[in-house]
Amino acid sequence: MAAGLDRSAVRRFDDLHEHGFARVAACLPRVEIADPAKNAARAIDLARMADRDGVVAAVFPELSLSGYSLDDLFHQSAVLEASRAALLELADASRELRPVLIVGLPLAVDGAVFNVAAVVHGGRVAGVVPKVYLPNYREYYEKRYFAAAGSRRSDVVSLGGGEAPFGEDLLFDVGPVPGFRFHVEICEDLWSPLPPSTWGALAGASVLVNLSASNVTIGKADYRRLLCASQSGRSIAAYVYAGAGAGESTTDLAWDSHGLIFENGERLAESERFSQEPQMLTADIDLERLHQERLRMSTFRDAARRESGAAGFRTVPVAVERPPAAVALRRAIPRFPYVPADSAERDERCAEAFDIQVAGLVQRLRATGIEKVVIGVSGGLDSSHALIVCVRAVDRLGLPRENILGCTLPGFGTSSRTYENAKRLMAALGVSASEIDIRPASERMLESIDHPYSRGERGAEVYDATFENVQAGERTSHLFRLANLNRGLVIGTGDLSELALGWCTYGVGDQMAHYSVNSSVPKTLIQHLIRWEVERREFGAEASETLQSIVDTEISPELVPAVEGQEADNGEPAQSTEAVIGPFELQDFHLYYLSRYGYRPSRVAWLAHQAWGNRDRGAWLDTMPEDDRREYSLAEIKQWLEVFLVRFFGASQFKRSALPNGPKVGSGGSLSPRGDWRAPSDGGPAVWVEELRRNVP
């Protein structure tokens, strides 16, 4: 087969390889004890299956060509010679297969038998890795049969008339798959205090593979999961674990065919344990994500300094061929990256998010000695959530809820629905409620600057940004003066999503406050936090019913009244925020992957299309609530992503550079200039917009 991926070919937008993903497999065959020829045939069958499935690398269990439970048979020449012949047979078969194959066998080298992993591809053995740590305790007696990697005398081994690199110091560079470099370790190596894969990762391996024959005892599977998760997380890598099972001798032990694939601490796939049938466990690993995480992790780079154990690795190139057809992603991309899909985990995260926000506000009140807070309550999502945070904070401090000075400030565009919801919520929560009609003050301001509205003109062209911002400014001015009068702290309500999109007015309540509890909480999470409060009914039936009404209300700035020709006031807001800046559920998706990982826009668009493009793309969508099963075409995603890029990288950074204090809530990050996001206020979106237009059809 021709080696190498033809990058001059037309890019296939729907191919997972084009967007930094690669499919890996843990192949779990049924072995025959001391029958390498039959084991090779079974390995070839699984390898062909992996080839048809678009797999880049397939990992087999420890000593899978011979069987692990041979004991003294490992010193039988017939077994060793047959194992070597089986390896060469597998290598010959690999000429017609795309995946890199990593298989285990006993191999005699330099007058000793080594427990090794052979890396096979393209008709040859590309390299051989010996096991570093040989267990010799409890049920293990490997030092009786094998020599450890540290005792090897050769850097190469002769196989089938050729030579292959030999040693534990090998990294395999799977070109031209971007970022796919793997390191091999064997079973006990992972159990050691310092796994060899740690050095492999620090030397540049993004994928760590383990050929294992760990026997099973009660509770051991949980420990394997813990080890794989921990090693992949610490190493910022994928970890592929292939464990022995069916066919191994049960003289004194049992085996469970345990396969695991982890990525940066997250489990992607797990095999059916104790299966008597061959299995191929696959997962699509995100190499680009791992690369971006390592770019940001300064401690990872420090650990990989030249004088560390990461130095001195030999790199072995292994070129794979591009599949003839595009390989579709099978990995579920969460639609709501800020909100866990699992209901139990979601409830836990909601509770933690509230606790973080409340803890931040409690500390600010204690530090300032202030016992009252002032908050504008609009009847919308953000202010309602912030109000609940305030209630929990004063409860925790042992202060009366009357110390929360809630104020609704109706303006020209305030709808009866949000107005009534604001009053009902304040009453249900037992806070001090007041009302200030800002229309007279706004009219005086509009008159003083000779705005067309003050001359009696009406219509869409009159309801401009000045008309809107005068109202926003009046609200903020009243809240700050109320705080002065009552020695209170003004609580900001603006959220992360609006800050990202520049959907806030500089110097007013959604951008400026004494303390901003929502500044790192995206809109989609606020929606789920309020739904969580509705389900808990912590504050009673009236509060829960009101909060449900708030969640169900159109998101709106409520600054513009219905213009002539529009439907008469039906109690609903006349403006729609999402009609201007895009659906928050989609824009939060874009925000997460652009700010958290720095992905190029075309990759973000592709990921969004995987998540939102087709409700039938994966059965996993069937577990989602009906209102979360919407679809967006690639054209819609591209349209709204461009809106996001222009607003985020364009002229709104100066607003974020002047943010008030507020707690960082989630690992998705914040946009505080003192925290996760530092950017010039005078930048532009051209490079991102051009990349999107050039690479997304």
Structure tokens at 49: 């299956």
Calculate mean pLDDT across residues 391-404. 98
- Which residue's structure tokens are 């049924």? 30
The Cα–Cα gap between 175 and 649 comes to 34
Spot the catalytic one: 62, 248, 585, 642: 62
* Per-residue pLDDT at 624 exceeds 70: no
User: pLDDT-based confidence at 360, cuts 50/70/90?
Assistant: very high
Calculate mean pLDDT across residues 380-406. 98
Instruction: Spell out the CATH class of 16-319.
Output: alpha beta
Enumerate the H helices of 94-147 as residue ranges.
142-145
The Cα–Cα gap between 546 and 552 comes to 10
So what's the pLDDT on residue 12? 82
Catalytic, 187? Answer yes
* Per-residue pLDDT at 535 exceeds 80: yes
The per-residue pLDDT of the chain, averaged, comes to 93
* Per-residue pLDDT at 536 exceeds 80: yes
* Per-residue pLDDT at 183 exceeds 80: yes
So what's the pLDDT on residue 607? 97
Sign of CA dihedral 256, 259, 265, 267: negative
- CB 102, CB 118: distance < 8 Å: yes
- Each domain of the chain, given as residue ranges in start order, spans 16-319, 343-695
Q: Compute the C-alpha angle 388/394/395, nearest 5°.
A: 85
* Per-residue pLDDT at 622 exceeds 80: no
Q: Closest Cα partner for 317 from 109, 154, 162, 177?
A: 177
* Per-residue pLDDT at 651 exceeds 90: no
So what's the pLDDT on residue 6? 41
So what's the pLDDT on residue 308? 72
The Cα–Cα gap between 420 and 384 comes to 13
> In whole angstroms, what separates CA 112 from the centre of its chain?
46
Question: 104 - beta bridge partners?
Answer: 117
- CB 43, CB 64: distance < 8 Å: yes
At residue 34, the 3 state secondary structure works out as coil
What does the DSSP 8-state code read for residue 407?
Answer: E
> In whole angstroms, what separates CA 35 from the centre of its chain?
44
Calculate mean pLDDT across residues 392-418. 97
So what's the pLDDT on residue 621? 46
Structure tokens at 38: 């039959």
What CATH superfamily classification does 343-695 receive?
A: HUPs (3.40.50.620)
Structure tokens at 67: 């069987």
Catalytic, 62? Answer yes
At residue 175, the 3 state secondary structure works out as strand
* Per-residue pLDDT at 8 exceeds 70: no
Q: Where is 150: in which H helix or E strand? A: none
Spot the catalytic one: 131, 372, 523, 638: 131
Catalytic, 390? Answer no
* Per-residue pLDDT at 440 exceeds 80: yes
Write the pLDDT tens digit of every residue in 305-319: 866 777 889 999 999
So what's the pLDDT on residue 115? 98
So what's the pLDDT on residue 290? 98
> In whole angstroms, what separates CA 362 from the centre of its chain?
30
What does the DSSP 8-state code read for residue 141?
Answer: -
Write the pLDDT tens digit of every residue in 575-621: 999 999 999 999 999 999 999 999 999 999 999 999 999 755 543 44
Residues in the chain: 697
Write the pLDDT tens digit of every residue in 541-587: 999 999 999 999 999 999 998 765 454 457 788 899 999 999 999 99
At residue 28, the 3 state secondary structure works out as strand
So what's the pLDDT on residue 628? 58
Spot the catalytic one: 27, 89, 168, 187: 187
> In whole angstroms, what separates CA 84 from the centre of its chain?
43
- CB 236, CB 297: distance < 8 Å: yes
* Per-residue pLDDT at 30 exceeds 90: yes
Sign of CA dihedral 576, 581, 584, 586: positive
Calculate mean pLDDT across residues 512-538. 96
Q: Closest Cα partner for 197 from 164, 168, 226?
A: 168
* Per-residue pLDDT at 629 exceeds 90: no
The reported pTM is: 0.93
The Cα–Cα gap between 119 and 87 comes to 10
What does the DSSP 8-state code read for residue 364?
Answer: H
* Per-residue pLDDT at 459 exceeds 80: yes
* Per-residue pLDDT at 242 exceeds 50: yes
So what's the pLDDT on residue 620? 40
> What percent of the chain stands above pLDDT 70?
95
What does the DSSP 8-state code read for residue 639?
Answer: H
* Per-residue pLDDT at 9 exceeds 50: no
